[in-house]
């Protein structure tokens, strides 16, 4: 806003001060070969861009850092048009109905979570607005995202990449809960037969499975 006000102010000032008057003759003084001015409007933008680049690169290196030893690892599969959440260490999964009810992602509070994002079909985007982060889910590639949810509650998630006819219904719910409630939900999934890992709609049972 400050830059916009400055630019608008200079435009208005230039219109008023350098307007053509009735007694003016010929062209106004030309400054296209004014070396100090050319240096000024070349150097100042470079300094501004360099400053923005520095702070962006500094903060991005922290925000996008992936924890290789997280407390919880979730393999997220985005598919047309829902989500599968594979809880890797717990060897359980939850999956939504394409174009229907979205799944619920359970996360323990104050625990580091790394998401491994994949897709078997088209590009999707994993977005939980409350996390202030989103990341594309790209076929043939695994993108990673680490967060540490520090507040219990229920939050909404969605696909942020136009991916087809039911894109707008590609929703899910995030529940950040205590460790005890998280463990209880993992046991509930096992009792419902949702053990193993789902990839592209196929189940890979654990070694102790069927």
* Claim to verify: residue 97 and residue 52 sit in the same structural domain: no
CA neighbor of 113 nearest in space, from 103, 125, 128:
128
Write the DSSP symbol of residue 131: G
For residue 97, what pLDDT band results from cuts at 50, 70 and 90? confident
6 within some domain = no
Task: Output the CA angle 63-69-73, nearest 5 degrees.
Answer: 85
* Claim to verify: residue 92 and residue 59 sit in the same structural domain: no
* Claim to verify: residue 89 and residue 51 sit in the same structural domain: no
* Claim to verify: residue 59 and residue 78 sit in the same structural domain: no
Express each pLDDT in 133-191 by its tens digit: 899 999 999 999 999 999 999 999 999 999 999 999 999 999 999 999 999 999 999 99
15 within some domain = no
4 within some domain = no
Tokens of 80: 């047309």
Provide, rounded to the nearest whole percent, the portion of the chain with pLDDT above 70: 93
* Claim to verify: residue 193 and residue 115 sit in the same structural domain: yes
Domain boundary among 43, 63, 83: 63
20 within some domain = no
* Claim to verify: residue 146 and residue 178 sit in the same structural domain: yes
Separation CA 171–CA 64 (nearest Å) = 24
- 104 φ, ψ (degrees, to nearest 5): -115, 125
Q: For the whole prediction, is pTM greater than 0.75? A: no
* Claim to verify: residue 125 and residue 194 sit in the same structural domain: yes
Domain boundary among 63, 81, 105: 63
CA neighbor of 160 nearest in space, from 171, 152, 151:
171
| CA dist 103 → 66, 78, 94, 96, 210 (Å) | 24, 11, 6, 4, 24
Express each pLDDT in 126-146 by its tens digit: 999 999 889 999 999 999 999
Evaluate the CA torsion angle 64, 113, 88, 173 in order and state its sign.
Answer: negative
199 within some domain = yes
2 within some domain = no
Q: What is the CA radius of gyration of the chain?
A: 27
Contact between residue 145 and residue 131 where contact means Cβ atoms under 8 Å apart: no
* Claim to verify: residue 125 and residue 147 sit in the same structural domain: yes
* Claim to verify: residue 58 and residue 126 sit in the same structural domain: no
Please list, in sequence order, all residues whose beta carbon lies within 8 angstroms of the beta carbon of residue 88, skipping any fewer than 6 positions away. Answer: 73, 74, 75, 116, 197
* Claim to verify: residue 54 and residue 109 sit in the same structural domain: no
* Domains contained in the chain, number: 2
CATH number of the domain bearing residue 130: 2.60.40.420
* Claim to verify: residue 138 and residue 43 sit in the same structural domain: no
* Claim to verify: residue 169 and residue 115 sit in the same structural domain: yes
* β partners of residue 105: 174
**Average pLDDT over all residues of the chain:** 89
173 within some domain = yes
* β partners of residue 37: none
Tokens of 39: 């240096």
Separation CA 185–CA 148 (nearest Å) = 19
Q: Find the domain containing 39 and state its range.
A: 34-63
């Amino acid at each position: 806003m400050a830059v916009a006000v400055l630019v608008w102010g200079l435009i208005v000032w230039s219109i008023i001060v350098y307007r053509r008057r009735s007694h003016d003759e010929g062209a106004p003084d030309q400054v296209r070969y004014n070396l100090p001015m050319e240096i000024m409007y070349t150097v100042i933008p470079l300094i501004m861009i360099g400053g923005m680049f520095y702070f962006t690169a500094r903060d991005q290196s922290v925000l996008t850092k992936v924890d290789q030893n997280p407390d919880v690892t979730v393999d997220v599969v985005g598919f047309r048009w829902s989500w599968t959440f594979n809880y890797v260490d717990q060897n359980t999964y939850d999956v939504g109905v394409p174009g229907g009810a979205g799944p619920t992602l359970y996360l323990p509070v104050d625990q580091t979570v790394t998401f491994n994002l994949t897709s078997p079909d088209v590009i999707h985007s994993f977005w939980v607005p409350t996390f202030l982060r989103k990341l594309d889910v790209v076929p043939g590639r695994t993108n990673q995202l680490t967060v540490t949810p520090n507040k219990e509650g229920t939050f909404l998630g969605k696909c942020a990449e136009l991916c087809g006819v039911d894109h707008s219904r590609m929703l899910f719910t995030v529940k950040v809960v205590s460790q005890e409630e998280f463990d209880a939900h993992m046991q509930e999934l096992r009792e419902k037969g949702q053990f193993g890992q789902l990839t592209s709609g196929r189940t890979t049972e654990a070694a102790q499975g069927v």
